[in-house]
Chain A
Amino acid sequence: MRAVAVQAAPVLPSGLFERLAWHWRYNPKLEFWIAWYSMVFFYNLFGVVFVGMTRVMPPPQPWWDTPRVVQWFNDNHNGLLVGFGIIFLVSGLTAACNALIGYSMRRMSVSRAFAYSYIAIYSVSALPGMLLTAIALTVGAMRPERDPELIYWLYDMGFMCFVGTMGIFLIGTLVWMIAILIDKNRVLPKWFGYLNICNLITEFVVATSWVFKKGVFAWNGAIAFWVDTAVFAVYTVAFIYLLRKMIKREDFGDGPLPA
């Protein structure tokens, strides 16, 4: 098979749609940018749904009595069902984020085993990260007349799946961290490697939420929730920024495509 003759890219036109059309046709980094914008879109939507619509972040109290839990579901009925409907719909976008991170490891001076194990581990990360929570709280919200004890059980399932599921993120972060720290190509800075350690440690700390129902170690506590979420937010913003830098640095030129 022969490569298609290369067309010289015309000058970037003005006007939003013309520019988008130009990028679609000529931008040699289009595949990267599709994945990067999917990731940014996903994390923004995640924030809107979990904070604004479903009120899952910050989480309600683990020590409420049953009527208060039922009331929480009733207060947030539509927010939960619509918000998690959106999450069910866009959950596959997490694959774009994992693909970019996997690619960053392909560029490093490390074995391909790192990229492959990261993509394999994170291909199911949406389940403990959000989907199991979303399923439990959706089922909790869909029948307000359900036995309150069962609604309470779904509430526990929802929040413990959200805060207390750790291993996938622990091992996934560990794989990326090792790759960054031993990489000689300087694809990502070393300080970010160390930031991975912070994210990794939070995964140990949140284990306390399985034991404590009150105080700083409970699922809504200052340590198990707030410190954990703050670290995760800094970590996420950092890697979104660094992946953008990585894409900008890639030098493809505009040569012919591989056939």
Chain B
Amino acid sequence: MKKAIYFKKMTITLSGAFIAFVFLSILIKYGIINRYYTGILISFGINVILAVSLNVTTGFLGQLTLGHAGFMAVGAYCAAFISKNLVGLPDVVCFMIALTGGGLMAMLIGALVCLPTLRLKGDYLAIITLAFGEVIKNILLNLSFLGGANGYIGIPRFTDFGWTFWLAVITVLATLSLMRSRFGRVITSIRDDEIASEATGIAISRFKLLAFIFAAFFAGIAGGLYAHYMSIIEPRVFDIDKSIEILVMVVLGGMGNVPGCIIAAGVLTILPEFLRGVDNLRMLLYAIALIVIMLCKYNPNFNRLIHRWRNKLKGADRT
């Protein structure tokens, strides 16, 4: 992309984000968006960060990970621990340190999980990450200085709409930026054909690790935001169901499709609000969504239909 075009696009994007931010902030300030809806907006932002970062490993790198909630947990607990024990600093600085610490810790753990699995094929990686998520949960349940099964309480409520909004914007931009660099191309090439990628001189394990820690870092940030929004965190929140929920966002939004992921994160944040009290139904819908999307994606008739629609829409544009 030419530099000038890029800066023009970037300026438009950022000013768009800024206008949206100012608009929403005003609505929140004057109570037109009440606390309940602000809460939904914050959850939406956190889910965007989670979905977009998972998209890097599952969508672009093509490795199924089932432990994203585990990285979120690491980030949440680490950030909460920092902000509870770091006194005497202004809130903003404290929160920044806590979030960065949470992200870095998640990144470190991500590297530790990824390293032994680098030589393995996708199926095993899925299982390892699943196992890892459960191990993290079990360890947290047994760590009394982090509250154990009772939950870790008294975390300062630093997270507000502004933090979530801008961190979500940063995550999206960083992800898009990574994928549009020479590193992103290589990551996608590994998804398409590992053997060909290696035969083109690519050290594939290095890039798997890169995608992994990149995703883990942002999952950790999301965890930090979540902890400082809820003010109390419990290990069981970060279980496999949460990982699956994030996966559904990625699958629904389209693997390797960042804007799709954002929309899917929005849908899946609002949907449970309509299904309050019937939580079982929610998991059932997720399950059906996963199966149907996969079956449709691989069905030639369905693909042909999509293609025809797209062509029709394009035709309509021209006339």
Q: Do A and B come from one complex?
A: no
Contact residues of A with B, CB < 8 Å? none
